[in-house]
Every structure is written in structure tokens, then in C-alpha cells.
Amino acid sequence: MGDTGSGCYGVTSAPAGRILAGRIGHPSCFGCGSGALGIRRIGRQCALRGALVVILAMAVWVAGARSARSAELAVEGSRFTLDGRPTFLLGISYYGALGAPRRFILEDLDDIEGLGFNWIRVWATWSAFGNDVSAVDDQGGPREPYLGKLKWLMGECDRRGMVVDVTLTRGEGRLGNPHLGRLAAHVRALQTLAKELRAWRNGYFDMANEHNIRSRRVSSKYVPFEEARKLRDALKAVDPNRLVTISYVRDAPRDDVRRYVLDVRVDFVSPHRPRDARSPQQTRQVTRQYLAWMDQLGRVVPVHYQEPFRRDFTKGWQPTAEDFVADLRGAIEGGAAGWCFHNGDARFEPQSRPRRSFDMRKKRLFEQLEPVERAAVREVAEVVRRRNAELGGRRAETGR
């Protein structure tokens, strides 16, 4: 702000965090002098009020700096860290976020954060139920307004200290039109997003959802290991420190684990385990097996369960709250670094309703969850809360 000639120094009503040090007028300072000599005639009352304004402005600046902090996700051995602290990632599927009204998103984030969840999974290529809300086009270029919506969401989650999983796919068959059908478009999409999201360190990329699926119905979904490495290198060329993974369906054999860890060099593995009634009781042993294999291979990375079973997916089996809790406990006891409460459309119901996170245009996620799911999210959050309390107590005892 320029010199008004009042001789008083103060702050403007600029946005929080911005303090301007120019000479400005102050209502109580009229008559206290002007020009170069005016500042010598500032009365005691004016000086005190000016000092108070500066102090208040500094408080606003500090609050603004805190709210604008950047939560940084990283990897330390088999664990994730958030702002340098070992953190178990407890998340929830939020796939169609870019098509939801911002009010819905903010209300859902309040519920998610309030429960103690610390990450969400959002798709950057999503076109379910005839509604394409992808942040990139089929050639990998930016696509508005959805890219802007993704950036806003990254910032909102960053403010809350939450992580965002940004997922892409080569095509999603049943739920939408194929995306990024060729390697060149896929590379461009990752680089577009890596560049646009570089300012936020609270996210990672799943470069290709369930890349190992090969069938006539969703043939475009398949991404060979060799291409996976090219995707990884292309993204890291833009943002070397961004964490990346590539998810796969079913339990991976040892040789595939070797290829993910040593050939593709993902920052963590993301298995999508089988979705049947036996799965919750198997997760602990499967997780331990993955970690043991990686130890033998000489490179251990986190095991992250970003898409376990869900309700309304498997014929003949509707998971209960106890099933979700058992699966989470197995993941924790096996040494996993993260787990997700997965949800989606009712595959065998008319119009696939409730669609949950797959379509949040008319209802937000938490309005679509069934009573069993509402109970499940409360109970899994309590499991992680107790685990964190126990770990905190042990650290206090050992001083570590």
C-alpha cells in the first residue's frame, strides 16, 4: 500500500498471512501530522493502536502459515511417514470425488477426519454411469474443470493433514469408457498430473489400477511390467520425490513381487486381495509373506491395502462389520502400512444403487453408507486409535 501522507505505519486488510509494511492512514491518526515530519507527531494513543494492529496481523499470519502447511508423505522401510512421523494410513474409497459438489466433499471430509481416517482414494480418470469427471483427457492433457477440482481437493486435504491417492487406469470396462489407451497418452497424463500437483506433497499416484487384468472385456486395462517401469520413470522425471505404485488384483506370486520391487521399482506395493469370505482370515499371513520375500530380495517397501473387499460386490457374500475389522487387524498384525475401507456401487441392484463413492452427484458418501458400513467405519477407526495409543505408550516408556 502506498504512502497516504498520514505518517502512520500499519497493516492492510489483506488476506490472512499477508502483512504489508507500507505507510498507511489510520482513522484515529487524522491530525497527527503528515509528510516526513508527521511521524514525529504520532500521539501515544495512535502508537499503541498501531502496535496492536501489527500484533493482531502477526497472529493472523501465524495462523495462516499453519493452515497452509504442506503435509509430506514419505516412506521409511516398510512404513509410511507423514511429516516425518511413522503413520498407519487408514483410508476410505472416494472414487468419484471430482463429480461431487464441493459442499458434499467438505461435509464428507469432516466425517472422515472426525473418525480418524487420514487418506482418501480419488480417481483422476473416472467416467462411471455416463458421467466423465476425469482430470485428464484421453490423450493425457489437462481437462477442466476437473483438474482444478482435484487441485482444490489436494489443498483441502493438505490443510487437514490428509493423504490423497490419485489413481489412473487404462480403461475401466463396466464402469466407464476406456481411458489412456496407449502408452504415450498414459505417460502424458502422469506427467500432466505430476506437474500440476507438484506443490502438494500429501499425495501419491497409483499409475494404473489393477494393471495385471487381461481379458477380452477389459483388454485395454492391461499394462505390462516393461511399460509400468516407463510410466514410473516418466513421472519421476517431473517429480522425483513423488511416491508411486501400481496396483494389481489377486495375491501376487514371489516373482511378481520381485518385478514390482526391483524392476518397476515402485515405492510400495498395492495388492487387491481376493474378495471372498476367507479373505479376512488370510490377510495377516499374506502380508507377512510379502515382507519376508522383499527382505530376501534386499529391498523392503510398504504393503498398502488400498482396495480390499467391499459390500455389494461378491455374489453370495456380504461382508459384515466384523469382517472389515478382522481384515484390518490382519493387515496391522502382518505388518502392513495402510488399509482402506472400500465401498462402491451395488452391482446386482436396480441402477446399481446405492452407488456410494462411485457416484456422489446427488448424495454424499456418508449419506449412502448402510448401517453395517457405518458401524464398520467406526469400529475400524477405533482399532487404529487403540493401536496408536499403545504405540505412543511404548515410545514414551522407551524414550523412542
Q: Burial code of 233-250, b = ≥16 C-beta within 10 A, e = fewer? A: ebbbebbeebbbbbbbbe
What mean pLDDT do residues 240-250 have?
Answer: 97
Least confident of 13-17, 187-191, 376-380: 13-17
The pLDDT tens digits of the residues spanning 303-327 come to 999 999 999 999 999 999 999 999 9
- Are 308 and 322 contained in the same domain? yes
pLDDT, position 13 = 29
Same domain, 146 and 243: yes
Q: Which of 68, 89, 114 finishes a domain?
A: 68
Q: Are 92 and 222 contained in the same domain? A: yes
**Does 27 share its domain with 112?**
no
CA torsion sign for 359, 190, 116, 344 is positive
Q: What is the DSSP secondary structure assignment for residue 305, as one 8-state letter?
A: E
For position 341, what pLDDT does the model report? Answer: 98
Separation of alpha carbons 270 and 394, rounded Å: 29
Residues of the domain holding 34: 1-68
Q: Has residue 87 got a pLDDT over 90?
A: yes
Residues 164 and 280 grouped into a single domain: yes
* One domain for residues 253 and 343: yes
Distances (CA, A) of 60 to 55, 63, 234: 9, 5, 41
Instruction: Flag the least confident range among 212-216, 241-245, 384-388.
Output: 212-216
SS3 string, 93-154, reads: ECCCHHHCCHHHHHHHHHHHHHHCCCEEEEECCCCHHHCCCCCECCCCCECCCHHHHHHHHH
Q: Are residues 185 and 43 in the same domain?
A: no
* DSSP secondary structure string for all residues of 337-372: SEEEE-----TTSGGG---GGG--SSS-HHHH--HH
> What CATH number does the domain containing 364 carry?
3.20.20.80
Q: In this predicted structure, what is the pLDDT of residue 82?
A: 97
Looking at the structure, tell me whether residues 246 and 385 fall in a common domain.
Answer: yes
Same domain, 5 and 109: no
pLDDT level of residue 25 (50, 70, 90 thresholds): very low
Structure confidence at residue 69 as a pLDDT band (50, 70, 90)? low
Q: Please identify, among 48, 68, 88, the residue that sits at the C-terminal boundary of a domain.
A: 68
The model's pLDDT over 181-197, given as tens digits with 9 standing for 90+, comes to 899 999 999 999 999 99
Q: Whole-number mean pLDDT of the chain?
A: 85
Instruction: State the pLDDT confidence band at 397, using cuts at 50, 70 and 90.
Output: low
Does 16 share its domain with 162? no
Could you tell me the CA-to-CA distances from 285 to 21, 53, 307, 333 in Å, in that order?
62, 61, 18, 9
pLDDT band of 221, cuts 50, 70, 90: confident
pLDDT of residue 290: 98
Cell of 33: 501530522
| Listed residue (158, 150, 156) closest to 70, CA to CA | 158
167 and 193 part of one domain: yes
Of 36, 53, 68, at which residue does a domain stop?
A: 68
Residue 34 pLDDT more than 90?
no
Q: Are residues 173 and 253 in the same domain?
A: yes
As for how many domains the chain has, the answer is 2
